[in-house]
Amino acid sequence: MRRRTVLLAGAAAAAVTGAVSAGALLTRGEGRSLASAPGGSSSSPFSDVDDGADDLDAMVWADSVGVLPALADGTYAPSSGVTRGDVAVALHRFAGSPEVPGGLPALIVDLGDVPEQAAALLWLHGRGALWGDADLKVHPERSATVADASGLLAALLRPALDGEGLMDGASADTDWLQEAGIAPSPSPGAERADQSALTGDSDLIGDSDATRAGLAAALHRANTVIVDALD
């Protein structure tokens, strides 16, 4: 309840631009806390991820709670890119897959034919985290860049954390994610701070493609940051 109050009240409520109801972040639809997922993994359950690999804990966590699960063949495809629609679905699941009320006008014309993706896109739009272009398109089929994914993640999390005084909202999205501990700090001599956990490689910049392992790592860090902040 404490997490729900923090993440959905105050500044977070002000970010909601429509009548889209929001579920509690950190809780799956069936009520299981994402923080309760196993951690400390050294043995990989995925056929294409080595034991002790970087971000293995995050991938195991993301699979076990259903935020970004393994593929049907038992692989995780950690270096595979994600689409903008994939990122939206993962963030919606991270929020507990809150329902989107029916009968609302759709301000996005390219929601697609997959109900879960359509709900995720509408929910993020309702929270002010996702906007369409001049043609009311959000292009869920396009590859998500680090900047795309970082912007969505920051837009979803920062209103609540800033509203609680846990973070300063003045920074750019990528800087804010680093300051919050959700993205790693840039490595020495790196080009720019658009680097993020979302690539799985902190030396890559904002127009690089986000990866499955990187997205899992960012969400895992986000979950940890919020849980630690509220303890």
Query: Contact at 8 Å (CB) between 231 and 225?
Result: no
Q: Say how far apart CA 149 and CA 215 lie, in whole Å.
A: 8
Among left, alpha and beta (phi > 0; psi -120 to 50; other), residue 31 is: left
3-class DSSP state of 145: strand
Span 196-221, average pLDDT: 73
Checking if the pLDDT of 203 tops 50, the result is: no
Q: Give the Cα-Cα-Cα angle 27, 91, 37 (nearest 5 degrees).
A: 40
Q: Say how far apart CA 22 and CA 5 lie, in whole Å.
A: 11
Q: Say how far apart CA 191 and CA 201 lie, in whole Å.
A: 13
pLDDT of residue 170: 56
Comparing 87 with 7, the larger pLDDT belongs to 87
> How many folded domains does the chain comprise?
1
How many Cβ atoms sit within 10 Å of the Cβ of residue 114?
13
pLDDT of residue 119: 92
Give the global pTM. Answer: 0.77
Query: Which domain range does residue 158 map to?
Result: 2-98+106-184+191-230
Checking if the pLDDT of 105 tops 80, the result is: no
| pLDDT band per the 50, 70, 90 thresholds, residue 168 | low
Q: Which amino acid is at 14?
A: A
Rounded alpha-carbon distances, angstroms, from residue 138 to 135, 143, 151, 181, 189: 9, 12, 13, 28, 34
| pLDDT band per the 50, 70, 90 thresholds, residue 192 | very low
| pLDDT band per the 50, 70, 90 thresholds, residue 40 | low
Query: Contact at 8 Å (CB) between 123 and 20?
Result: yes
Q: Which residue has the tokens 């009320």?
A: 101
Cα first-last separation, the chain: 13
* Residues of the chain above pLDDT 70, percent: 64
pLDDT of residue 228: 72
Residue 173 structure tokens? 């999205």
pLDDT of residue 27: 36
3-class DSSP state of 161: helix
